[in-house]
Amino acid sequence: MKRVVVTGMGVVSPLGNSVDELWKNILAGKSGVGPITKFDSTKFKTHFACEVKDFNAEDYVEKKEVRKYDVYTQYAIAASDQAIQAAGLDFSTMSEEDRCEVGVIWATGNGGIGTFEQQLKEYHLGDGTPRFSPYFIPKMIVDIAAGVISIRNSLHGPNYCTVSACASSNTAIISAFDTIRLGKANIMIAGGSEAAITDSSVGGFNAAQALSKRNDDPERASRPFDKDRDGFVIAEGAAALILEDYDYAIARGATIYGEMVGGGMAADAYHLTGTHPQGLGAVQGMKKALKDAGIQPEQIDYINAHATSTGLGDLSELLGIKKVFNDAPVLISGTKSMTGHLLGAAGALEAVISVLSAQHDMVPGTTNTETLDESIPEGLHIVLGKSVAKKINYVMNNTFGFGGHTATSIFKKYEGK
């Protein structure tokens, strides 16, 4: 099968709206948490989130076009545009035949939930006369970001959306990886976006006891693996990767940031929202990814854990890691301690961080965590506090979603061989 490399990346995140800014703040251990400004959270149990700051959609889309797109699609446009530019791609110079070999697989968990809420509020607060926007449906549906990216760039290759809750964008990346390996495309734009800091989303996660309620100390609320963790911090944003056939990338003189070598997907088949107590799905996903990459557990240098800061979720993932890696000296950290949890876009953002970790030989730390949960298996090497320098060849990226979905991707340092 064909080799697949990463030739471009782009992000819109609570820690910056470019790859460079994100990476700088990750290494500095900066928090993306702040008060919720998207709606009045006074009566809610949680009053904070990791919102995107200083984002202007008109930097990417003409003013008259902005109203056609939900915020999740605006974020998708920005991240994909950045990635395309970083990859040195100009699709306008490509023939239609070549553009038939370029596709988009874009993920989201909630799609245009903000648009959905706003339109229903306007309807119910009105006189009952249906006055829905003609853009309501295309702004709301989950596949539209993938469609918009392809339309903007005249790309005729495979185009669809993956939805597997918080594993969605890792699933998209693995699907794009497989598409190229099987010779069904030369280039794929893969990633995910989310704009779900809304009344119903925060209210729903509060009702499910999933969100942290540490309102007196929000910057330290996301604390993976800590004995006092009380839930995740909801976040928004987007991340995109350009995945490309190795030979095609070399032929066009592309800059290569890393290589993708494996992907594994599985299911807990256990509970609507809870992970399997022993990490059954996580174990299977990680094993499948290792087998796909053709490597042994001890060859993984760093695991960017899903690590949402939920009680059972963190523990079940670490139990799964222990079963797969035993006493291998792999370093583990949870970057959601800084970025918060981007839901369907989390896997893509952490894929970007994984590629950067291998590229720069740096393992981001896990911030805020003070005392590890006593139930965590012994022998695991969790990086707390500051980032650490380490020679990295292989990075594993874990994501898990409501419904028992698991997705694990593996990236390798590219050294020009």
State the DSSP H helix or E strand holding residue 33, giving kind and residue range, or none if neither: none
Look at residue 416 and tell me whether its pLDDT is greater than 90.
no
| Segment 143-149 mean pLDDT | 98
CA gap 205, 230 in Å, rounded: 13
Residue 269, classed as helix, strand or coil, is coil
Cα-based distances in Å from 197 to 33, 99, 214, 277, 389: 12, 35, 17, 29, 34
How many angstroms from the chain centroid is the CA of residue 130?
36
State percent of the chain over pLDDT 90: 93
Instruction: Kindly tell me if the per-residue pLDDT of 31 is higher than 70.
Output: yes
Compute the distance between CA of residue 17 and CA of residue 338 in angstroms, rounded to an integer: 15
| pLDDT at 112 > cutoff 70 | yes
Q: Which of 306, 360, 381, 405 is catalytic?
A: 306
Distance (Å, rounded) from C-alpha 350 to C-alpha 356?
Answer: 10
The predicted-structure confidence for 154-178, as pLDDT tens digits, reads as follows 999 999 999 999 999 999 999 999 9
If one compares 279 and 417, the residue with the highest pLDDT of the two is 279
pLDDT tens, position by position, 56-66 = 999 999 999 99
The answer to whether 209 and 310 are in contact (CB under 8 A) is no
Whether the per-residue pLDDT at 272 is higher than 90: the answer is: no
Single-letter amino acid code for the residue at 127: D
**List 50, 161, 276, 341, catalytic entry:** 341
pLDDT of residue 274: 81
Give the DSSP letter of residue 184: S
CATH topology of domain 4-251: Peroxisomal Thiolase; Chain A, domain 1 (3.40.47)
pLDDT band, residue 328 (cuts 50/70/90): very high
Q: What is the pLDDT of residues 12-23, one digit of tens each?
A: 999 999 999 999
Q: Which amino acid is at 314?
A: D
Single-letter code of the amino acid located at 68 = K
Burial of 45 (0-12, 13-18, 19+ CB in 10 A): middle
Predicted confidence (pLDDT) at residue 127 exceeds the cutoff of 80 = no
Q: What is the pTM of this model?
A: 0.97
- Note whether 145 and 72 are within 8 A (CB): yes
Residue type, 250: I
The rounded distance, in Å, linking the Cα atoms of 70 and 385 is 36
Q: What is the mean pLDDT of residues 384-396?
A: 97
Residues facing residue 362 across a β-bridge: 389
- What is the average pLDDT across 120-134? 85
Q: Rounded to an integer, what distance in angstroms lies between the CA atom of residue 352 and that of residue 162?
A: 18
Confidence category of residue 279, pLDDT binned at 50, 70, 90: confident
Please name the residue that has the structure tokens 């590219």.
414
Share of the chain above pLDDT 70, in %: 100
Topology match between the domains 4-251 and 264-404: yes
Judged against a pLDDT cut of 70, whether residue 333 lies above it is answered with yes
Residue 316 confidence class, pLDDT cut points 50, 70, 90: very high
Residue among 152, 171, 174 at smallest CA distance from 162: 171
* Set 50, 161, 166, 276: catalytic member: 166
Query: Which pLDDT value is given to residue 275?
Result: 87
User: Of 143, 140, 122, 142, whose CA–CA distance to 132 is shortest?
Assistant: 122
Higher-scoring residue by pLDDT: 126, 60 = 60
Torsion of CA 212, 333, 380, 174, to 10 degrees: 100
Query: Average of pLDDT values for 138-154?
Result: 98
Return the minimum-mean-pLDDT range out of 128-137, 370-379, 384-393. Answer: 128-137
- Does residue 126 surpass a pLDDT of 90? no
For range 247-276, the mean pLDDT: 94
Token pair belonging to 57: 């959609």
* pLDDT above 90 (res 39): yes
Q: How far apart are CA 303 and CA 285, in angstroms?
A: 13
Give the pLDDT band (50/70/90) at residue 417: low
Given this model, what pLDDT does residue 273 score? 80
Distances (CA, A) of 230 to 5, 192, 195, 210, 402: 38, 26, 23, 8, 18
CA atoms within 13 A on the CB side of 208: 15
Residue 276: per-residue pLDDT: 85
Instruction: Identify whether 341 is a catalytic site residue.
Output: yes
Read off the DSSP letter of residue 410. Answer: E
Hey, where are the domains in the chain? Answer: 4-251, 264-404
- Beta carbons within 8 Å of 250's beta carbon, 6+ residues apart: none
**Strand pairing class (187-194; 237-245):** antiparallel
- Give the Å distances, CA to CA, from 162 to 27, 169, 197, 270: 30, 7, 20, 21
Q: Is CATH 3.40.30.10 correct for 264-404?
A: no
Q: Is the dihedral of CA 147, 148, 154, 155 positive or negative?
A: negative
Is the predicted pLDDT of residue 239 greater than 90, yes or no? yes
- Residue 394, φ and ψ in degrees, nearest 5: -125, 135
Mean pLDDT of the chain: 96
